[in-house]
A = this chain, B = another copy of it.
Amino acid sequence: MASGDETGFWPWVEAIDRAETISGLRDTLLAAFSYVGFTAAYFLAPVVSDARVGRVLTNVGFPREWEERYRAEFYLIDPIATHAITRRGAFCWPDDLAETPLKPAERDYLALLADYGMERGVGLASFGPFARTGFVGVGLPRSGIAIDRRSILMVEVAARLAHQRYLRLIDPFPNGPPSLSDREIEVLSLIAQGKSNAVIAQLLDISPSSVDVYVKRIFTKMGVADRTSASVRALAMGLVVTGRFPKQSHSGRL
């Protein structure tokens, strides 16, 4: 690799961890990317399938023309960002998108990138508390460098740490979740699983009326008016869990 090796990379990691301002963090992160061999990056937050929501774009180093067209046309399309959501870890684009079926518009976007000399780069999603997901796209590798696994790993470590740091900088002391009683958390958890009040009553072996009261109290404490909002907020706040997790440790027991 033409660029710096790992010995000189760690100081950049520490610098990211020490950044005290958003702009300082941005500059430090870009310097870290530059050290690895990339000269441009763009950030999206939040990243969800509903591209109309949010998705603030910040571009550092990519051509102005690309940025304008991105904002105008490809804002809602960028398959790299969408792909990142379901990927674990960083990946190299467009190579790692080869197996993903792409819509015509998405292929157009990748072609546009190539037109601007941005054939190749690294992308990753970083996940934070309260369902805060960000995307980092890194590109414009210096000619001559290979995008090997080590480079991708460096980008991943730096970007993920920077995202955590960013979240802390924009909201250092987030409001904690409201203090719910044990029973209330229990009920809320079942609500978030889509159980009806009647089912909850059966599961907890209490009367439906009691469930009714708990639901009411939960709404009041959380400041919502319906179980859907309560569930979404509970999930975002880390009050309940979703999805299927392994019931037992694996044989190796990580």
Contacts and interface: CB of A to CB of B under 8 A. Distances in A.
Contacts of A53: 189, 240-241
Given A47-B238, A125-B129, A235-B131, A194 B226 contact: yes
Nearest to A173: B86
A144 interface: no
Interface of A: 6-7, 9-11, 13-14, 17, 21-26, 29, 43, 45-50, 52-54, 56-58, 60, 85-89, 125, 127-133, 149-150, 153, 156-157, 160-162, 164-168, 170, 174, 176-177, 180, 185-186, 188-189, 191-194, 196, 224-229, 231-233, 235-243, 245-254
A232 B231 contact: yes
Given A50-B186, A186-B52, A228-B231, A132 B245 contact: yes
24 contacts: A6-B10, A6-B14, A22-B254, A23-B252, A26-B253, A46-B243, A48-B239, A48-B240, A49-B240, A58-B253, A88-B129, A125-B129, A127-B128, A132-B245, A162-B254, A191-B228, A194-B224, A194-B228, A194-B232, A196-B226, A227-B228, A228-B231, A232-B235, A235-B236
B48 A238 contact: yes
Contacts of A224: 194
Given A26-B252, A49-B177, A86-B177, A232 B239 contact: no
Given A60-B253, A132-B243, 8 more contacts: A22-B252, A47-B238, A48-B239, A58-B253, A86-B176, A88-B164, A88-B167, A235-B242
Contacts of A48: 238-241
B50 A129 contact: no
Top 8 nearest A-B pairs (CB, nearest first) are: A23-B252, A194-B229, A22-B252, A127-B127, A88-B168, A6-B10, A85-B238, A48-B241
Contacts of A249: 56-58
A237 to B, nearest CB: 8
A88 B238 CA distance: 13
